[in-house]
Amino acid sequence: MKAAVWHEAKDVRVEAVEIPKPKSNEVKVEVMWAGICGSDLHEYLHGPMTIPTETHPVSGKKAPLTLGHEFSGRVTEVGENVQHYKIGDAVVINPLVSCGKCHACLNGHENICDSLGFVGLVQDGGFAEYVVVNEKHVNHMPTSLSYEEGALVEPTAVAVYAVKRSQMKIGHTCAVFGVGPIGLLTIQAAKAAGATRIFAIDVSQERLVKAKEVGATVVINPLNENVVDAIYSHTNGIGVDVCYEVAGVQATLTSSLEAVKKLGEVMIISLFAELGKVDLFQTVLKQYQLTGSAAYDQETFKEAIRLIDSGQIDAKKIITKKIKLENIVPEGFETLVNDKAQSKILVQMK
């Protein structure tokens, strides 16, 4: 079968690999669609970042391995001890890999496991015609959901979990700094949670147009106007209740901290490549909360499925391109590097 295998930075090869066979507690899935995540792009450009070069303590795997952790498909084979899935089931994969033994896992917080990883980053993932995963990673997909929508459940769960963890309440205002795929989904999750005014901030005019389409009430391009001044002018000089930082750069972090109201909250969803700087004097004077959100839990993953299925989150709106697996490098990774108007690129396996 064909698979997109990471060997090293700037070396992802679509090559022939052996079709995997499921063990007793595993499910074999024919992958239909998979999304390219920012994590995949970082591994392509700068890896290894989370891809193990030594055997991973939970998965037992190491590079080279097949990328892809946002995917859906159809069950084609099950191990003898699998209880809840059968051949033909439409499924979406929760790729979270955790040890189940550390303090975080034992207290129900697998998303901050000491050995946290993801299918497609610490073991072979969904950029392949077939993938084998433990039954615990598999979730039934409603028949009303398309496979394309199924491939968007994982990033939707990231956004939904962040909004759930935040102070967001019905009637609140919020600002989303960075409206790539997660930012666009965060806008929709905040709207579903009852936000009355949502500010979207990005340097890409095309992404701001998309932000308007998914529910942002005010869009701001920092290249054209002062973000903080604009937010204060729209909120009677108060600031917003919650700022979601989804860009991972100092400029948006600084603006988030300045635009949040006193006693508000700045929720960090992005991963910063460099250490961020915080004005702690203002932290004391404004008494805001600075919070982080990592991935999602299993219940939120299931909620994301329901939110997409109900139409409360229209995940399809973040799709900007669909490609074939054999073109994943030039039309996927390289396009995302060079075309900042792109949001979510989906990959079809056949």
What CATH number has the domain bearing residue 177? 3.40.50.720
Domain span at 218: 156-292
The residues near 291 (Cβ < 8 Å, ≥ 6 apart) are 165, 166, 265, 266, 267, 268
| pLDDT, tens only, 177-221 | 999 999 999 999 999 999 999 999 999 999 999 999 999 999 999
Q: In total, how many domains does the chain have?
A: 2
pLDDT value of residue 340 = 85
> Comparing C-alpha atoms, which of 69, 13, 8 is closest to residue 328?
13
Query: Do 14 and 144 belong to one domain?
Result: yes
Residue 257 lies in a domain: yes
Query: Do 177 and 196 belong to one domain?
Result: yes
Query: Do 196 and 253 belong to one domain?
Result: yes
Query: Do 169 and 224 belong to one domain?
Result: yes
List the Cα angle 339/345/346 in 5-degree steps: 160
User: Would you say 65 and 125 are in contact if contact means Cβ atoms under 8 Å apart?
Assistant: yes
Query: Do 255 and 284 belong to one domain?
Result: yes
Tell me what the mean pLDDT of segment 299-323 comes to. Answer: 97
Residue 94 lies in a domain: yes
Secondary structure of residue 66 in the 3-state scheme: strand
Residue 306 lies in a domain: no
User: Would you say 119 and 95 are in contact if contact means Cβ atoms under 8 Å apart?
Assistant: yes
| pLDDT, tens only, 138-187 | 999 999 999 999 999 999 999 999 999 999 999 999 999 999 999 999 99
Q: Is the peptide bond before 155 cis (omega within 30 degrees of 0)?
A: no
Query: Do 174 and 71 belong to one domain?
Result: no
pLDDT over threshold 90, residue 82: yes
Q: Which two tokens stand for residue 181?
A: 């795929």
User: Would you say 179 and 201 are in contact if contact means Cβ atoms under 8 Å apart?
Assistant: yes
pTM, two decimals, is: 0.96
User: What's 115's domain CATH number?
Assistant: 3.90.180.10
Query: Do 195 and 226 belong to one domain?
Result: yes
Tell me what the mean pLDDT of segment 25-49 comes to. Answer: 96
